């Protein structure tokens, strides 16, 4: 890679060469002109054109772009997917059963059902059970305010049960 100072010295030499050619042409045609102004115009034209060409160069990667460490390239995982994966891992490895993953999946199912079929559980519970299945429809039927009931022992769901719920959501 060439050093930027050497690149600009070359461009300055090109500007001087262009200015010399224009000055020689105008002198040969006996046109009155200001030599310093021609040199300045040539330098400005070369600088502007080189900056424009540098900006239009698609092969140059901007220096402000960085690779995000929390996104895995091979799985196409973004921050939201990483959050869901973290909630599922926390559910599977926690000492006590936590149903946060159930409510995340229920929210996802509620949004997908509304997006794809225009159905809300409150409007048509029968249609929701038909689309989601009984277990996922039961999760969707509970409001946020009624999710956590003190003194009730929470059930730990297996990976297969959570996978079945996700599969049902994907098949919507």
Whether residue 100 sits in one domain with residue 50: no
What is the mean pLDDT of the segment spanning 73-95?
66
Whether residue 18 sits in one domain with residue 95: no
Task: Enumerate residues 6+ apart whose C-beta is below 8 A from 11.
Answer: 46, 47, 50
Domain that holds residue 123: 79-170
Whether residue 143 sits in one domain with residue 88: yes
Number of domains in the chain: 2
Looking at residue 98, its pLDDT comes to 63
Does 3 have pLDDT greater than 80? Answer: no
Whether residue 83 sits in one domain with residue 41: no
Does 73 have pLDDT greater than 60? Answer: no
Whether residue 114 sits in one domain with residue 52: no
CA triple 120-121-122, angle to 5 deg: 90
- The predicted-structure confidence for 116-131, as pLDDT tens digits, reads as follows 888 888 888 888 888 8
Does 1 have pLDDT greater than 90? Answer: no
Whether residue 152 sits in one domain with residue 107: yes
Whether residue 156 sits in one domain with residue 101: yes
Whether residue 103 sits in one domain with residue 46: no
The pTM score is 0.45
Q: Kindly write down the DSSP assignment for every residue of 33-72, as one continuous string.
A: --HHHHHHHHHHHHHHHHHHHHHH-TTPPPTT----TTS-
Comparison of pLDDT for 58 and 37, the residue scoring more: 37
Whether residue 95 sits in one domain with residue 134: yes
Looking at residue 25, its pLDDT comes to 93
Query: Quick check: is 64 in a domain?
Result: no
Query: Quick check: is 74 in a domain?
Result: no
Whether residue 93 sits in one domain with residue 44: no
Whether residue 32 sits in one domain with residue 99: no
Dist. CA 67–CA 58, nearest whole Å: 18
Whether residue 92 sits in one domain with residue 49: no
């Amino acid at each position: 890679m060439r050093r930027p100072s050497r690149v600009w010295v070359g461009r300055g030499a090109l500007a001087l060469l262009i200015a010399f050619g224009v000055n020689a042409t105008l002198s040969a045609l006996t046109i009155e002109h200001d030599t310093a102004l021609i040199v300045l115009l040539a330098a400005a034209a070369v600088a502007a054109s080189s900056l424009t060409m540098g900006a239009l160069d698609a092969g140059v990667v901007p220096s402000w772009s960085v690779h995000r460490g929390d996104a895995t390239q091979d799985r196409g995982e973004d921050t939201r997917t990483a959050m869901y994966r973290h909630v599922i891992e926390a559910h599977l490895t926690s000492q006590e059963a936590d149903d946060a993953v159930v409510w995340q999946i229920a929210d996802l199912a509620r949004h997908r059902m509304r997006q794809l079929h225009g159905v809300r559980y409150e409007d048509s519970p029968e249609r929701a059970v038909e689309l989601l299945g009984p277990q996922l429809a039961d999760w969707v039927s509970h409001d946020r305010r009624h999710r956590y009931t003190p003194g009730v022992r929470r059930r730990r769901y297996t990976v297969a049960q959570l996978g079945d719920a996700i599969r049902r959501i994907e098949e919507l």
